[in-house]
Amino acid sequence: MAAGALVCVTLAWADSPSGGAFTPVAHSALVSVDGVVAADTLVLRMRRTADQQPLTGAQLTVTAEGRSIPVTARPEGTWGVPVKDLPRPPGKLSIEVSHDGVREVLEAQLPGTPAAAPPAEVRGVASTLIHKQMSWWILNIVIVLIGVIAVSRRMS
């Protein structure tokens, strides 16, 4: 029993660096990427989205601001990225994951930085589109009501 507990504790300890807990960095329908900053390294862990099992046999490349950043595979199945090569917060990364014959490019937010709100122009465009749609619905309802009133007056 003690040996089993020791194995579980060892696996859990090897799976997470001493710096803190992993936080979501990027995800797709197939892959979830979590990250944590430990010492001077950003540690990335990839898992299958469906069952949260580690993604084995994957290739990983990271780019920031159009330049490639060196990535090293770590023995516990994670990848390390030097913090000195990362952009300053709020930084965006592009993570390219090749696995199971699929190549995915994920846009990532550095851990520890808040997710950026959409720009005001985007909110303005969405708001304008919603108002236009509501205007069309109201116009159509008014036209139908006018038609019903006209038909009902002819019938009586």
Report the alpha-carbon distance of residue 128 to residue 150 in Å, rounded.
33
Rg of the chain in Å (alpha carbons): 26
Q: Is 94 found in the same domain as 42?
A: yes
Portion of the chain with pLDDT greater than 90, in percent = 13
pLDDT digit string, tens, across residues 107-155: 887 766 555 555 555 556 667 778 888 999 999 999 999 999 999 998 8
**pLDDT of res. 125:** 66
Residues 91 and 27 in one domain: yes
**Residue of 58, 61, 52, 62 whose CA lies nearest to 32:** 52
One domain, residues 105 and 141: no
| 84 shares a domain with 141 | no
- Segment 33-69, tens digit of pLDDT: 888 888 888 888 888 888 888 888 888 888 888 888 8
Task: Tell me how many domains the chain contains.
Answer: 2
Q: Give the domain extent around 132.
A: 117-156
Q: What is the mean pLDDT of residues 14-42?
A: 76
Residue 24 · residue 43 · CB < 8 Å: no
Q: DSSP string covering 14-59, please?
A: HHS-TT---EEEEE-SSEEEEEEEETTEEEEEEEETTT--B--S-E
Q: Which helix (H) or strand (E) holds 110?
A: none
